[in-house]
Structure 1
Amino acid sequence: MASKSKFIDYIDEALEKSKETALSRLFFTHRGIPYPITMCTSETFQALDTFEAKSDDIVLASYPKCGSNWILHITSELIFAESKKKYEYPEFPILECGDPEKYQRMKQFPSPRILATHLHYDKLPGSIFKNKAKILVIFQNPKDTAVSFFHFHNDVPDIPSYGSWDEFFRQFMKGQVSWGSYFDFAINWNKHLDDENVQLLLYEDLKKNLAAGIKQIAEFFGFSLTGEQIQTISAQSTFHAMQAKSQETHRAVGPFLFRKGEVGVWKNLNSEPGNGCKIQRVLSRHFPRSKAEV
């Protein structure tokens, strides 16, 4: 319970900071990428450089709003199914978020540790690669990602809002949003998707066949589970199952983290006429005929 409380307390603190933060002052830049001052600090990034990864750490990499909370839940359930011990989060699970002393405390955490991150491949601490920790990279269609990101900013009461979809879309395309450009993130990770310790997972594939996706994740991280265990985790990990518990697991921000969970929401963007076509036209220039186009 203490671990869940710490997880929720961190979210509450970030929301409290957001109340008094104007959108124009939300970001600070580290190594060329904007990060939210409500969740990240320069001091934490400096400390992260010396973070010591373990070979059995579970690294979950994704751009924001691409299903990171979903994958966190599934991975926690996989650990529980094999060890019979509920996975606890003694720290906020996003690796680059928290105070600089976080990494010293993490040295005492039992294995396997879950390390979620929104960082580019070349921004991760070198010990992750040196110790050959396995990395699961999750991608979602950039059109749905943009829409989800916009709604998160404009629906959560305490987070600075954008004046319009057009304003957000311009900033998204320029990479002037939290954690920077989706496209730079994708290009950076794409160079390493064939590495031995890296596995790609598409959000859309997980939605299409959740049980198969969970089985793929389990096999990649070396979990030996029965078909029955896979089906149980699948039933507990549907969007509706997680949405129903979102208030308990993520408190005030829960309903906004688990808003729709659908594929193709960009087609139904309720803003100015033609926005959906605008998304398709602009993004097609970046990813023509790619898996990102759904």
Structure 2
Amino acid sequence: METWEALPEDIFVVSYAKAGMIPETYEIVDKMKSPRTIKSHLSGHLLPPDVFKKKARIVYVARNPKDMCVSYYYFHIMVPNLPTPKSRNEFFEDFFAGKITYGPWWEHYLFYWNLRHESNVLFVKFEEMKKDLKSVVEDVAKFLIYTLFDDVINGIVDHCSFASMQKNPMTNPDTILKTVRMPQDQRKKDLDSKDGVTVEEPKQEKSPFMRKGKVGDWRNHFTVAQNEAFDVFMQEKLAGSGLVFEY
């Protein structure tokens, strides 16, 4: 990672959680034709230093941490090689404290947020895309120095809608995820033996890869006490940064 060479024309699409650049990924990326579009969920300090040295373009997507917490909880239920939450409350507590796979969410956000004024970094919020996807597409095109006609922009907007992506096997790998799950009997045995506690067997059907794609779904999951505690915690971690989330 330290010696991996980036190209000035590389485009990184970065967000928290769900996937990242693993060793095998570098081999694939090295074979890609330029300009390369690379998706990653790594925090800034874990990206190859050459990415920043060469000023490769970075589009960072952030989401209200409350909704991200809920989405990540269901993702842990779905994916077999991630720790299975014993309870939703326990997972929420770990998420608040940053004790999950990709570490503290606020550090991940703030690293890129603090670079938002750099010419090679565009910071976008999920909520902005849900509110006005066309405007965000236009902003991204401008950032990447692309001139697009309205019909092309409208086509991108339609292609990137949640409904369209949910039907697209290139963006919704539910079929693939079903095939990589370990046999049900072995999976259940492993869960039952974990710390002597019987855990409900998670089934992929209960939590699809693309679940809802909505803003504010956290309201259906957080208790009043959890919401109040998280607000205090979030204000503390983001204090003075100017980064705020609505909804």
TM-score range, shorter chain: 0.7 to 0.9
Cα shift readout 1:42-95 (whole Å, capped 9, x = no counterpart): xxxxxx211111111111111116xxxxxxxxxxxxxxxxxxxxxxxxxxxx65
State the match for 1:193 in structure 2.
116
1:253 Cα deviation from its structure 2 partner = 3.8
Q: Give 1:102-181 correspondences, 5 Å limit.
A: 102-156=25-79, 159-181=82-104
* TM-score (ref. length: structure 1): 0.66
2:172 and 2:210 in contact (8 A); partners too: no
Give 3-state SS (helix, strand or coil) of 2:208's partner.
helix
| The one of 86, 96, 99 aligned to 2:21 | 96
| The one of 155, 159, 169 aligned to 1:236 | 159
1:265 corresponds to 2:217:
yes
1:195 Cα deviation from its structure 2 partner = 1.2
Residue type at the aligned position of 1:256: P
- Structure-2 separation of matches of 1:133 and 1:183: 23
Question: Which runs of structure 1 show a deviation greater than 6 angstroms over 4 or more consecutive aligned residues?
Answer: none
1:121 Cα deviation from its structure 2 partner = 2.0
Q: Give 1:42-53 correspondences, 5 Å limit.
A: 48-53=1-6
The change in CA–CA distance for 1:54 and 1:232 in structure 2 (over 3 A counts) is: same
1:103 Cα deviation from its structure 2 partner = 2.9
Identity %: 28
1:291 corresponds to 2:223:
no
The change in CA–CA distance for 1:286 and 1:105 in structure 2 (over 3 A counts) is: closer
- Structure-1 separation of matches of 2:171 and 2:95: 31
Structure 1 vs Structure 2 CA RMSD: 2.6
The change in CA–CA distance for 1:165 and 1:111 in structure 2 (over 3 A counts) is: same
| The one of 2, 9, 13 aligned to 1:60 | 13
1:60 and 1:137 in contact (8 A); partners too: yes
The change in CA–CA distance for 1:187 and 1:106 in structure 2 (over 3 A counts) is: closer
The change in CA–CA distance for 1:253 and 1:292 in structure 2 (over 3 A counts) is: farther
Residue type at the aligned position of 2:83: P
1:169 Cα deviation from its structure 2 partner = 1.5
Residue type at the aligned position of 1:212: S
Gapped regions of structure 1 (runs ≥ 5): 1-47, 66-93
Residue type at the aligned position of 2:214: E
Q: Which has the larger radius of gyration?
A: 2
Q: Give 1:24-35 correspondences, 5 Å limit.
A: none
Give 3-state SS (helix, strand or coil) of 1:257's partner.
coil
- Structure-1 separation of matches of 2:27 and 2:79: 32
- Structure-2 separation of matches of 1:173 and 1:275: 10
The change in CA–CA distance for 1:140 and 1:105 in structure 2 (over 3 A counts) is: closer
* TM-score (ref. length: structure 2): 0.77
Paired residues, what number? 216
